[in-house]
Amino acid sequence: MKIAIILGTRPEIIKMSPIIRECEKQGIDYYILHTGQHYSYEMDKIFFEQLKLPQAKYNLDVGSGKHGEQTGKMLVAIEEILIKDRPDIVLVQGDTNTVLAGAIAASKLHIKIGHVEAGLRSFDNTMPEETNRIIADHISDYLFAPTETSRKYLLSEGIPEERIFVTGNTIVDAAYQNLVISKDGDDILKELGLKEKEYFVATTHRAENVDSRERLGRILSSFSQIYKEFDLPVIFPAHPRTVKMIKEFGLEVPEGTRLIEPLGYLEFLQLESGARMILTDSGGVQEESCILKVPCVTLRDNTERPETVDVGANLIAGIGENIVECARKMLESNPEWENPYGNGNAAELTIQSMVTDYSTKYSSIESPEQIQY
């Protein structure tokens, strides 16, 4: 059995890193196809090296662009590679345009599809990610749901139960494994002059927040109020686009908010782990804060990670005064909540489920020599 792992963004690399390591451990024939959705592969090579992962076999270097343009370029290139290599299974993770292109290409070539982190729903159809994840789920053969909640969403949409495997989330595996790797590098807290549990971390990158002067202004104002009330600095590793929009809107970074350059993943993992609280609009950061037992306030009106709220690790604040109120509540909470995403063995369960099911159902079936259109 041969597996093609298709990824194109750093969050995908992070969440697929335990899958890649498990394939190596079990001696499974696999390769990595990197679309270059966010960065060129040359920029991501260092990231692969930091996480001690093998390099990608294929690099598409698609780059940014409009949704249709970007997805179309990836679809054409991925299809050519899949026809040439004819893997038995294509694995994708999450809800990016890379996921959409990889899943569609595999589906049309009658290649089995495994969707890691299946069944997430924000129920916000204005988000392109929601479209991507729904389509990927409905054309996948193996849906690796991180939680029972995700499984229930999939069943409610008519997806057959036998396709769904509740494995936990590979973000748990990744956080545990990569936090150990991060200890081999620089001590980011020492570099920034910080002490554990004596600072907050903030991130915001979503268009709904960054591209709105009102929303971005109210978020920055809430950081100011949090600093004044709790007398702890807000460390804000800001995406270049966020910095650009702050300047374009004529906004000011308030006293007590420390704007710093974006950090590498391993450094940011250290920063998250040592924080007193995290304020974010990132789904992945919501998960990581829950896993690391750091209280979280989400700067959005909804979340596709409701489990973090259910266990008491996270509150959905929206924007404005409610952010400060939610921060008060989270700082008073007990961080000994149950991790809803598993015990750090999601990658092992994912590979085991897929290999067992595939060998039982399909190993004796020969693939067509070539598929014609």
Residue positions annotated with a catalytic role: 205
Report the C-alpha gap between 245 and 135 in whole angstroms: 32
* Helical ranges in the chain per DSSP H: 10-26, 41-50, 67-85, 97-108, 128-139, 148-156, 170-182, 188-192, 207-210, 213-230, 240-248, 265-274, 283-291, 306-310, 321-331, 346-361
Residue 172's SS3 state is helix
- Chain centroid to CA 133: 12
Question: Strands across the sheet with 164-166, in order?
Answer: 58-59, 29-34, 2-7, 89-93, 112-116, 142-145, 164-166
Report the C-alpha gap between 113 and 116 in whole angstroms: 10
Report the C-alpha gap between 261 and 328 in whole angstroms: 27
Report the C-alpha gap between 373 and 369 in whole angstroms: 13
- Chain centroid to CA 107: 23
Which residue type, as a one-letter code, is found at position 254?
P
Residue 315's SS3 state is strand
Report the C-alpha gap between 234 and 355 in whole angstroms: 46
339 CB contacts (<8 Å, ≥6 apart)?
Answer: 172, 290, 291, 311
C-beta atoms surrounding 361 within 10 Å: 12
Report the C-alpha gap between 60 and 65 in whole angstroms: 14
42 CB contacts (<8 Å, ≥6 apart)?
Answer: none
Give strand pairing partners of 90.
Answer: 4, 113
